[in-house]
Structure 1
Amino acid sequence: MRSDTEDIPGGFTKEEADRAEVQEAAEQQAEQDRAANPLARALASAPINCTTYWPSPYKVCGAIREKYDAIGGPTSFLTWPKSDELGVPDGVGRRNEFVNGFIYWHPTTGAHPVTTHFSTVWARNGWETGRLGYPTTDEFGLSDGIGRKQSFQRGHIYGSLAGLASIEGLIYDKWVTTGAEGGPLGYPTADEAGTPDGVGRFNRFTGGMIY
């Protein structure tokens, strides 16, 4: 087994690494069988659209696998899978957990990774069933070379030297008209919150507030 001759990265155990190696071999054999005999497709022991990435024993499948491979697989910022593909509370989306984040998929938004850091903001806003909804973009850098952003169905998460925060709706629209992070208000420093009267909403920024 590879675990007998190679260091096992990612904090996985020898048992997990050995299980991953067995699964990889089964997947490779199934692909060879299908290539040699298309009728073997229905009888293959390994799922057609799933892949194991040694030393992780967890499978990544379908659109989530395609995204994972596109960003570099285990050599990406996510590194190795920490779970098989899982359902989410709405019964529609799917997700995989990785060492450094997640990939979430929804039929209308596609598959997008969310880093561990950005997921802390997403989590406190209720994950995919909360205020922000599903991710609609990957995380990306901004023109100032400092900030980071990720868009969701109903809002955005920004990361900067001021921290991580979400912004959404009419407050986001107004902020954009002022120049967004490049304007006088700068980056958001806290998530959108309710006002004491229970009616209004506001966001704090490095250079002020929007109500």
Structure 2
Amino acid sequence: MANTSGKKLWLTALIIFALLAIFFYTTYNGLVSKQENVTKTWNNVQSDYQRRLDLIPNLVNTVKASSDYEKETLTKLIEARSKAAGLNVTGSPTYDEFKKTEEANGEVAASANRVIAVIEKYPDLKTANSFIRLQDQLIGTERRIKFSRKDFNEAVMGYNKSVRSFPSSITASLFGFKTKEGFQADTGTDKSPEINFTK
């Protein structure tokens, strides 16, 4: 009788162990998958930022082609682009890297907007085919950045929900999965910095 009782105890322990193993296996893999999705969507944001940076020299050259332009405004844009290009962070950035990248890309957008404001003073430049084509490319790029940022925030939200929700939070805690930061509008604004042709 004691032998049967011992077997039942071992069988119960084995079933509990198997269920725990399955639980940790599935929740761990789920967290890894969501973490990889955050990394992938961040890389998409970086790719779209790079596309913006690649178009900036064309904007600068288009303005320089004008007989009269404000050199200081262009210089600031070139400097902002250089700084942002130097901070291109791929993979899974730390919060500090993420913040620096955002600030640098925000400065690129702000500087580009100052250049566009200058262009408003030059009707010939504003209606030139080269500028109109560039404007279309930049508008398309800004749309892509918006969607990429939205996808990134959704990926971060899904990942954070799994990290913080019970019972997957047990696995997250055991294996070192930590919550991540998403995009947030600056205080007093309702959207992220972007190149804007509607001013």
TM-score, length of structure 2 as denominator length: 0.23
TM-score, length of structure 1 as denominator length: 0.22
Structure with bigger gyration radius? 2
